Structure 1
């Protein structure tokens, strides 16, 4: 029996990009993928503009909370998607890493965050194809 893949989204504050990516992957993959997110320096709360942008596409991320990135979380992931955390993300052999260059929604207006959201959705859909999972 093959275990399901585990995807970890990492950004600095775990309050915008990684939370939006977690929301999209959770919605599109259902229980076919274990989905987690974390940050190297987590914020106190989710970016409210990211929450609003995701609500527009029917995904509620209000229950998500920023979490600190731990070595164990990285080591137990199949794929780690980094979004602007640079060299602060730990590296473990056997884990697949991908870096997504995306704008940071912190301090941005809703129109800008919508553009970031839409880029994240497309990348999540591409990731599902790579994992062989229909979204």
Structure 2
């Protein structure tokens, strides 16, 4: 591996959690992580979740121009690590691919919705990306 390790963040739609993780990694850990993202069921022409865009802008990360894309074996093969963000997406990587699953807290299970929900998810992703950055740098 040369340069910063490449991390592919994955969720179902690539409009929310994985796009947020990619944007946060670019904003917080660009020196230690080269990030991208995809979805297991990404839809052509979709746009990022509006609340995801809003809560990332609050911390200086911009995903407003993000274009969701479909997960492929080739994307996984090109990444040093695939991180599945949340447990909704089921990912079986091709041989020799490294996959890590982040069981992200789902605030809506506790009745927390809207912008408050997205801020809690963002804050957990910030902590996890900072941890991942430290792990990959060592």
- Deviation of 1:104 after TM superposition, in Å, equals 5.8
1:100 equivalent in structure 2: 102
TM superposition score normalised by structure 2: 0.84
CA distance in 1, matches of 2:89, 2:16: 19
Q: Deviations over 1:57-106 (max 9, x none)?
A: 11111011111101100111111100246674232333321101124689
- Which of the residues 111, 128, 135 maps onto 1:130? 135
Task: Indicate how the Cα distance of structure 1 residues 84 and 113 shifts in structure 2: closer, same or farther if over 3 A, else same.
Answer: same
Runs of at least 5 residues in structure 2 that lack an aligned partner in the other structure: none
**Count of matched residue pairs:** 132
Pick closer, same or farther for the CA change 1:122–1:87 going to 2, 3 Å: closer
Is the contact made by 1:11 and 1:17 (CA closer than 8 Å) also made in structure 2? yes
Provide closer, same or farther for how the CA distance between residues 109 and 36 of structure 1 changes in structure 2, counting only shifts above 3 A: same
Unaligned runs of 5+ in 1: none
C-alpha separation between the residues in 2 aligned to 1:129 and 1:42?
A: 30
Alpha carbon RMSD of aligned pairs, Å?
2.3
Task: Show structure 1 runs of 4+ deviating over 4 A.
Answer: 103-106
Asked whether 1:120 is paired with 2:125, we answer: yes
Q: Does the CA contact (< 8 Å) of 1:16 and 1:105 recur in 2?
A: no
- Using structure 1 for the length normalisation, give the TM-score: 0.86
